[in-house]
Structure 1
Amino acid sequence: MTQSFTFLVIAGSLLSAASGQTGLAPKQYLSLPLGSIRPTGWLYDQLMVQTNGLAGHEHEFYDYVSETDWMGGPSYYSSLEEAGSYWFNAMVPNGILANNSGIIQRSQEFLDYVLANQDSTGWMGPEVNTTKPRYLWGRYPFMFGAIQMVEYNPDLTDQVVDALYKFVNLANQMLHNNGEGVEAWTQTRWEDFVMTLQWLYDFHPNGNEALLVDTMEQLKYTGVPWEKVFESQYFPTTATDDLPNPLGYVLSWHGVNMAEGLKALPATYRFTHNQSDLDRASEGWDLLFQYHGRPSGIYAADEYLAGLEAARGTELCLVVETMFSGSYLYQVIGDPKYVDRVERIAYNALPAELTGDFWSRQYLQQQNQIAAKNMTPDPFPNDGPYSNVFGLEPNYPCCTVNHPQGWPKFITNAFVTTADQSSLAQVYLGPFQTKTTLATENPVTVTVNTIYPFSDSLNTTITAAKAFTYYVRIPSWVVNGTISINGGAATAVSPNNGLQAVQVKAGTTTFTLNLPAEITTESRPHGSVAVHRGPLHYAFDIPRTSKILTQNGEQPLAKDLEFDASTAWEYAIDTSTLQFVNNPPPSGTLPSPVFDSGLPPLSMTVTACPINWPIAGSTFAASPPTNPACTGAQKTITLTPYGATKLRIGEFPVFTAN
Structure 2
Amino acid sequence: MNDCKFFGAGFTRRALLRSCSYLSVATWLAPGLARADPALPAATVPHPAPPRAPGQNRAPLAGQPFLPLPSGSIRPAGWLERQMRIQADGMGGRLDETWPDVGPNSGWLGGTGESWERGPYFVDGLLPLAWALDDPALKAKAQRFIDWTLDHPQPDGMFGPTSNDDWWPRMVMLKVLIQYHELTDDPRVIPLMRRYFAHQLKALPARPLKDWGRFRWQDELVAVLWLYNRTGDASLLQLAELLRAQGWNWQAEYADFPFKAKLSAEELGLDESKGGNSANGLSDRTLSAHGVNNAMGVKTSPLWSIVSGRATDRDAIKAELAVLDRYHGLPIGIFSADEHLAGTSPSQGIETCAIVEMMYSLELALAITGDAAIADRIERIAYNALPAAFTDDMWAHQYDQQPNQIKCSLAKGPWTTNGPEANLFGLEPHFGCCTANFHQGWPKLNASLWMATAGGGLAAMLYAPCTVSTVVGDVPLRIEQATDYPFRDTVSIALHPEREVAFPLVLRVPGWARSAKISINGAPAHAASSRGFVTIRRSWRAGDRVEASFDVATRRVETADGASTVEHGALLYVLPIEENWEKWRPRGLTADWQVYPASPWNVGLAPDASLHRTERAVSPTPFSRRSPAAVVTTSGQAVPEWIEAHGGYAEPPPRGLTGNGDQRPLTLIPYGAAKLRITAFPTLTV
TM-score normalised to structure 1 length: 0.89
Contact map agreement 1:528 1:653 (CA 8 A) in 2: yes
Identity %: 30
How much does 1:506 deviate? 3.5
- Give secondary structure in 2 for the equivalent of 1:371: coil
Contact map agreement 1:230 1:280 (CA 8 A) in 2: no
Tell me the distance in 2 between the aligned counterparts of 1:506 and 1:55.
38
Contact map agreement 2:399 2:422 (CA 8 A) in 1: yes
More displaced stretch, 399-408 vs 500-509: 500-509
Contact map agreement 2:109 2:144 (CA 8 A) in 1: no
Tell me the distance in 2 between the aligned counterparts of 1:631 and 1:369.
26
Tell me the distance in 2 between the aligned counterparts of 1:274 and 1:513.
35
How much does 1:451 deviate? 0.8
Contact map agreement 2:525 2:536 (CA 8 A) in 1: no
Tell me the distance in 1 between the aligned counterparts of 2:397 and 2:520.
43
- Give secondary structure in 2 for the equivalent of 1:288: helix
- Structure 2 residue 612 is matched with structure 1 residue 580: yes
Q: Which residue of 1 aligns with 2:181?
A: 150
- Structure 2 residue 175 is matched with structure 1 residue 138: no
Q: Which residue of 1 aligns with 2:94?
A: 57
Out of 405, 424, 433, the position equivalent to 1:398 is 433
Residue by residue over 1:189-223, the C-alpha shift from the partner in whole angstroms, topping out at 9 and shown as x without a partner, is 00111110100011233xx22x1001001001111
Q: Which residue of 2 aligns with 1:185?
A: 212
More displaced stretch, 458-467 vs 185-194: 458-467
Q: Which residue of 1 aligns with 2:41?
A: none
Contact map agreement 2:464 2:483 (CA 8 A) in 1: yes
Contact map agreement 1:599 1:644 (CA 8 A) in 2: no
Contact map agreement 1:38 1:434 (CA 8 A) in 2: yes
Q: Which residue of 1 aligns with 2:30?
A: none
Tell me the distance in 2 between the aligned counterparts of 1:618 and 1:226.
34
Q: Which residue of 1 aligns with 2:245?
A: 221
Q: Which residue of 2 aligns with 1:423?
A: 457
Q: Which residue of 1 aligns with 2:636?
A: 608
- Give secondary structure in 1 for the equivalent of 2:72: coil
Tell me the distance in 1 between the aligned counterparts of 2:458 and 2:75.
15
Q: Which residue of 1 aligns with 2:203?
A: 174
Residue by residue over 1:347-402, the C-alpha shift from the partner in whole angstroms, topping out at 9 and shown as x without a partner, is 10100111111111000000100011111x32101001110000000011010110
- Structure 2 residue 242 is matched with structure 1 residue 203: no
Q: Which residue of 2 aligns with 1:482?
A: 517
Out of 594, 599, 602, the position equivalent to 1:562 is 594
Out of 23, 31, 38, the position equivalent to 2:68 is 31
- Structure 2 residue 446 is matched with structure 1 residue 446: no
How much does 1:249 deviate? 4.2
Contact map agreement 1:572 1:628 (CA 8 A) in 2: no
Q: Which residue of 1 aligns with 2:623?
A: 595
Inter-CA distance 99–369: structure 2 relative to 1 (3 Å threshold):
same
- Give secondary structure in 1 for the equivalent of 2:523: coil
- Give secondary structure in 1 for the equivalent of 2:611: strand
- Structure 2 residue 333 is matched with structure 1 residue 297: yes
Q: Which residue of 2 aligns with 1:14?
A: none
Tell me the distance in 1 between the aligned counterparts of 2:303 and 2:180.
22
Q: Which residue of 1 aligns with 2:261?
A: 238
Q: Which residue of 1 aligns with 2:375?
A: 339
Q: Which residue of 2 aligns with 1:11?
A: none
Residue by residue over 1:141-196, the C-alpha shift from the partner in whole angstroms, topping out at 9 and shown as x without a partner, is 11111111111101x1x21111111110111112222xx14112111000111110
Tell me the distance in 2 between the aligned counterparts of 1:74 and 1:430.
39
Q: Which residue of 1 aligns with 2:280?
A: none
Q: Which amino acid aligns with 2:85?
A: M
RMSD in angstroms over aligned alpha carbons? Answer: 2.0
Q: Which residue of 1 aligns with 2:390?
A: 354
How much does 1:435 deviate? 1.3
Inter-CA distance 360–248: structure 2 relative to 1 (3 Å threshold):
closer
TM-score normalised to structure 2 length: 0.86
Tell me the distance in 1 between the aligned counterparts of 2:377 and 2:297.
17
- Give secondary structure in 2 for the equivalent of 1:476: coil
Tell me the distance in 2 between the aligned counterparts of 1:511 and 1:165.
44
Contact map agreement 1:516 1:534 (CA 8 A) in 2: no
Out of 306, 309, 312, the position equivalent to 2:342 is 306
Out of 536, 551, 554, the position equivalent to 1:519 is 554
Q: Which amino acid aligns with 2:622?
A: V
Out of 357, 368, 375, the position equivalent to 1:321 is 357
Q: Which amino acid aligns with 1:495?
A: S
Q: Which amino acid aligns with 2:630?
A: L
Q: Which residue of 1 aligns with 2:49?
A: none
Q: Which amino acid aligns with 2:569?
A: G
- Give secondary structure in 1 for the equivalent of 2:624: coil
Q: Which amino acid aligns with 2:595?
A: F
How much does 1:238 deviate? 1.7
Q: Which residue of 1 aligns with 2:139?
A: 104
Tell me the distance in 2 between the aligned counterparts of 1:57 and 1:252.
34
More displaced stretch, 286-295 vs 397-406: 286-295
More displaced stretch, 287-296 vs 35-44: 287-296
Q: Which residue of 2 aligns with 1:10?
A: none
Contact map agreement 1:474 1:500 (CA 8 A) in 2: yes
Q: Which residue of 1 aligns with 2:189?
A: 160
Tell me the distance in 1 between the aligned counterparts of 2:433 and 2:74.
28
- Give secondary structure in 1 for the equivalent of 2:609: strand
Tell me the distance in 2 between the aligned counterparts of 1:631 and 1:477.
32
Tell me the distance in 2 between the aligned counterparts of 1:278 and 1:325.
13
Q: Which runs of 5+ in 1 are unaligned?
A: 1-20
Q: Which residue of 2 aligns with 1:271?
A: 307
How much does 1:100 deviate? 1.4
Tell me the distance in 1 between the aligned counterparts of 2:214 and 2:356.
20
Tell me the distance in 2 between the aligned counterparts of 1:223 and 1:110.
28
How much does 1:639 deviate? 1.0
Contact map agreement 2:606 2:663 (CA 8 A) in 1: no
How much does 1:656 deviate? 4.3
After superposition, residues 343-382 of structure 1 pair within 5 angstroms as 343-375=379-411, 377-382=412-417
- Give secondary structure in 2 for the equivalent of 1:578: coil
Contact map agreement 1:575 1:606 (CA 8 A) in 2: no
Tell me the distance in 1 between the aligned counterparts of 2:579 and 2:97.
31
Residue by residue over 1:446-479, the C-alpha shift from the partner in whole angstroms, topping out at 9 and shown as x without a partner, is 1111111111111111123312111111101001
- Give secondary structure in 2 for the equivalent of 1:638: strand
Tell me the distance in 2 between the aligned counterparts of 1:322 and 1:35.
22
Contact map agreement 2:109 2:145 (CA 8 A) in 1: no
Q: Which runs of 5+ in 2 are unaligned?
A: 1-57, 270-282
